Homo-oligomer: A and B are copies of this chain.
Amino acid sequence: MGDYLLAVDLQLILDEGQHDAVREFFEDHHPATIAEILKDIDIERGDAILLMLDPRLRAETLSYFDRQRQVETMESLDPVEAAKILQYMPHDDRADLVNSLDEDKAEPILRRLAHAEREDILRLTQYEPGTAGAVMTTDYATLAPHLTVREAIERLRHEAPDRETIDYSYVLDHRRKLLGIVSLKQLIIERSQTRIESIMQGDFIRATVDEDQEEVARKIAQYDLLAIPVVDEHEKLLGIVTHDDAMDILREEQAEDLLAFGGVSAPSGDGDPNYWQVTIVNVARQRLIWLLPLFLSGTLTSWVVGSYDWLQKMLPELVVFVPLLIGTGGNAGSQTVGTIIRGLALGEIQFRDARWVLLRESFTGVLLGALLGILGFFYVWLWKAMSLPFAGVIAVTVLGICLWANSVGALVPLLARRLGWDPAHVSAPLISTLVDVTGLFIYYSIAILVLVRLA
C-alpha cells in the first residue's frame, strides 16, 4: 500500500521533470525494492526511470521484475539500451530472458553485444530446460594452478568489478578442466608466495551439465554450498549454479508439489506461471487432466451401488451412512499420502522400506479405525436408534475402510516412486476416488455378511 502511494508521488515528480530527485531517491535503494516500486508504475514511465539509473543498477533492478515485465521492458527499449542492460545482467538470467523474447526482437539487441557476450548467451540458451545447464551462470572467477597467492589476489582485484562474486575461484588447467576450488578467505589467510595448487580444495562436490535442476539444488542444500561447479563429461568447467538459484528452484518445485497434491498438474518446464497470468481456459484444461479421469473412474461407484440394488431395497437405511463412510476413508487416505510424499521428498523413506511403511501405516489405520469405529457404533446405536448389529456393521466398516485407506495411501506413492514417476503427483483426489470405489465394496460386503444372514 505504502509502495503504491510512493509510486503515485514518483509519477508526479517525474512528470514535473525533477529527474535528479528521482535518480537520487533510487540510488539509495536495494534493486529488489526499486523493482517493487516500479511494478506499480506504468511501463513508459518505468522505462524512463530505469534509464536514469546507472547501467549496473538498471540491470540488477530488471532481474527482480517478473518475466513478463522483463520482456515488455526489453521490447520497448531502444536495442542499444537493451543490449547495455544484458551486458550487466547475471549470465543465467539474461539467457533465460533472451529465450523469452520474440526472435525478431532479440536479434537487433544481440547484434549490439560484443561477440563474446553474444556467444555466451547463445550457448546458455541451448541447454534443455530443467537441467543444470539451463540454470547455471558463466559469471565466475577462474585461476591457474601455478599462480602464487599474491598473483591470484592481484588477478581477482582486477576482475572483481566485472564479477557478481569472487568469494570462490575455480582453478582450471589449460584445457579448462576443473582441478579445485579456492576461497577468497583462504587467499587472505595464506602467505603470499604459496601456490594456488597447494591450497586449493581438490575434493569438491560437482554437478554435470545434464543433471536435473532439482537434484543440483538438493546438493547445494545438503552440502551447504554457496555455489556448485557444473562440468561436462571431461570434467571441463561450463558454469556454476549459485545458492540463490537453488533456493528458487526448491521453492518452485515445492509449490508445484502442493498443487499436484491438490490434483493439478502444472505444465512442466514453463517456469513459474503466476496465478493471474494463466487464462481461465488454460486453468480449466490443467484441472481437467485430472478431474476428467477421476470423474470417469468415479462412475464406477454408481456401478457398485447399482449392482447392490437388491441390498438397498432390503436395507434402505444403509444409504444414510454412505457419504460418511467413504468420506472418512478419503480423509484417512489423504493424511497418509501427505505423510508418505513428505517422507519420500525429504529422503526419510525409500522404496526398500515399503514393507515397514505399509506395516506402520496399516497399524495406524487400525488404531484410528478402531477409535472412530467405536464412536460410530454409539452414534448409530444411541443417536440414530438403529439395531445393535447395524451399529456393529458401521463400526467394522469404519475400521476396515481406515485400514484400507491407509494401506492404499502408503502403497500408491511408493509404487509411483518405484516406477520412476513423481510420487508428489499422487494427489489427495486420486486417493479419495480410489477409496470411494473400494470403500463401497467393503461396506456392502460387511453388511451382507452380518445383516443379510441375520435377516
Contacts and interface: CB of A to CB of B under 8 A. Distances in A.
A348 B295 CA distance: 30
Contacts of A345: 255, 258
Contacts of A316: 312-313, 316
A321 B295 contact: no
Contacts of A301: 323-324, 327
Given A161-B189, A372-B295, A432-B432, A305 B319 contact: yes
Nearest to A427: B334
A287 to B, nearest CB: 5
Contacts of A142: none
Interface in A351-366: 360, 363-364
Contact of A339 (B222, B262, B306, B320): B262
A148 to B, nearest CB: 16
A226 interface: yes
A115 interface: no
A36 to B, nearest CB: 9
A189 to B, nearest CB: 5
Interface size range on A against B: 35 or more
A326 interface: yes
A221 B205 contact: no
Given A247-B221, A319-B305, A428 B262 contact: yes
Interface stretch (A25-33, A47-55, A232-240): A25-33
Given A301-B324, A368-B291, A258 B261 contact: yes
Interface stretch (A75-83, A121-129, A273-281): A273-281
A185 B188 contact: no
Given A254-B254, A262-B337, A313-B316, A298 B275 contact: no
B432 A330 contact: yes
Interface stretch (A101-109, A132-140, A152-160, A414-422): A152-160
Interface in A131-173: 153, 156-157, 160-161, 165-167
A334 B427 CA distance: 9
A259 interface: yes
Interface in A93-124: none
Interface in A411-455: 427-429, 432-433, 436, 440
A41 interface: no
A368 B295 CA distance: 11
Nearest to A168: B167
Contact of A320 (B204, B275, B306): B306
Given A30-B203, A295-B331, A299-B324, 6 more contacts: A255-B342, A258-B345, A262-B337, A283-B339, A288-B368, A334-B432
Interface of A: 28-30, 32, 153, 156-157, 160-161, 165-167, 184-185, 188-189, 203-205, 220-224, 226, 243-244, 246-248, 250-251, 254-255, 257-264, 272, 274-276, 280-281, 283-284, 287-288, 290-292, 294-295, 298-299, 301-302, 305-306, 312-313, 316, 319-324, 326-328, 330-332, 334-339, 341-343, 345-346, 348-349, 360, 363-364, 367-368, 371-372, 375-376, 379, 384, 427-429, 432-433, 436, 440
Give the top 6 A-B pairs by smallest Cβ distance, nearest first.
Answer: A262-B338, A301-B323, A331-B429, A428-B428, A224-B244, A275-B343
16 contacts: A30-B204, A32-B223, A247-B250, A255-B342, A260-B338, A280-B364, A295-B328, A295-B376, A301-B323, A301-B327, A302-B320, A302-B384, A305-B319, A323-B323, A330-B429, A331-B429
